[in-house]
Structure 1
Amino acid sequence: MTAQWAEVVRSVAKTERLLVALDFDGTMAPLGDEPMAVRALPETAAAVARLAELPDTTVAFVSGRQLADLRVIAAHDDRSPIWLTGSHGVEHWRPAAVAQPVPDQAAAGEEVSAAALVEEAQRSVEGIDGAWVEPKAYGFALHTRLASPDDGARARSGVDAMVAERAPEWRRRTGKDIAEYTWRHEGKDAGVARLRDETAATAVLFAGDDVTDEDALRSLREGDLGVRVGDGETAASVRVSGPLELAELLTALADARAS
Structure 2
Amino acid sequence: MTADNVAVGRLARAERLLVALDFDGTLSPLEDDPMAARMLPAARTAVEALAALPHTWAALVSGRSLSDLRTIAEHDDDSPILLAGSHGAEYWTPDAGTVEPADDPADVALRDRLRGEAERATGTLPGVWIEPKTFGFGVHTRTAAPADAAKANTAVDEIVSAAAPHWRRRTGHNIVEYAFRDEGKDTAVAHLRELTRADAVLFAGDDVTDEDALRSLGEGDVGVHVGEGASTAATLVVADIPAFAALLARLAEERRSPAE
TM-score, length-normalised on structure 2?
0.96
The alpha carbon displacement at 1:4 in A equals 3.3
**2:145 equivalent to 1:152:** no
The alpha carbon displacement at 1:3 in A equals 3.3
Letter in 2 for 1:12: L
| Count of residue correspondences | 256
Alignment correspondent of 2:238: 240
Counterparts of 2:57 and 2:237 in 1: how far apart (Å)? 22
**2:223 equivalent to 1:226:** yes
Alignment correspondent of 2:213: 216
Alignment correspondent of 1:68: 67
Q: For the Cα contact (< 8 Å) 2:92–2:99, is it kept in 1?
A: no
Counterparts of 2:57 and 2:2 in 1: how far apart (Å)? 25
Matches within 5 A, 1:33-112: 33-95=32-94, 98-100=95-97, 102-112=99-109
Counterparts of 2:169 and 2:97 in 1: how far apart (Å)? 29
Letter in 2 for 1:252: R
Following superposition, which runs of at least 4 residues in structure 1 exceed 4 angstroms of deviation? none
Q: For the Cα contact (< 8 Å) 2:119–2:130, is it kept in 1?
A: yes
Alignment correspondent of 1:169: 166
Counterparts of 1:50 and 1:167 in 2: how far apart (Å)? 44
SS in 1 for 2:74: coil
Report the CA distance shift for 1:68/1:101 in structure 2 as closer, same or farther (over 3 A). closer
The alpha carbon displacement at 1:103 in A equals 2.5
| Structure 1 runs not aligned, ≥5 long | none
The alpha carbon displacement at 1:256 in A equals 1.0
Counterparts of 1:230 and 1:94 in 2: how far apart (Å)? 29
The alpha carbon displacement at 1:100 in A equals 4.1
Counterparts of 2:98 and 2:40 in 1: how far apart (Å)? 29
Counterparts of 1:68 and 1:126 in 2: how far apart (Å)? 25
The alpha carbon displacement at 1:76 in A equals 0.3
| Structure 2 runs not aligned, ≥5 long | none
The alpha carbon displacement at 1:84 in A equals 0.2
Counterparts of 2:77 and 2:21 in 1: how far apart (Å)? 19
Letter in 1 for 2:208: V
Deviations 1:200-240, CA, capped at 9 Å, x for gaps: 00000000000000000000001000000013110000001
Counterparts of 2:99 and 2:115 in 1: how far apart (Å)? 26
Counterparts of 2:127 and 2:214 in 1: how far apart (Å)? 31
Letter in 2 for 1:144: T
Counterparts of 1:9 and 1:137 in 2: how far apart (Å)? 35
Identity %: 54
The alpha carbon displacement at 1:101 in A equals 6.3
Alignment correspondent of 1:10: 9
Deviations 1:156-204, CA, capped at 9 Å, x for gaps: 1111111111110000000000000000000000000000000000000
Deviations 1:132-177, CA, capped at 9 Å, x for gaps: 1111100000000000111111111111111111110000000000
Given the alignment, which residue of 190, 197, 203 partners 1:206? 203
Alignment correspondent of 1:136: 133
TM-score, length-normalised on structure 1?
0.97
The alpha carbon displacement at 1:70 in A equals 0.4
Counterparts of 2:156 and 2:6 in 1: how far apart (Å)? 46
Alignment correspondent of 1:25: 24
Counterparts of 2:116 and 2:100 in 1: how far apart (Å)? 25
Counterparts of 1:45 and 1:3 in 2: how far apart (Å)? 25
Given the alignment, which residue of 170, 176, 181 partners 1:179? 176
Counterparts of 1:252 and 1:142 in 2: how far apart (Å)? 37
Counterparts of 1:13 and 1:59 in 2: how far apart (Å)? 14
Deviations 1:107-150, CA, capped at 9 Å, x for gaps: 11111111000000101101111011111100000000000111
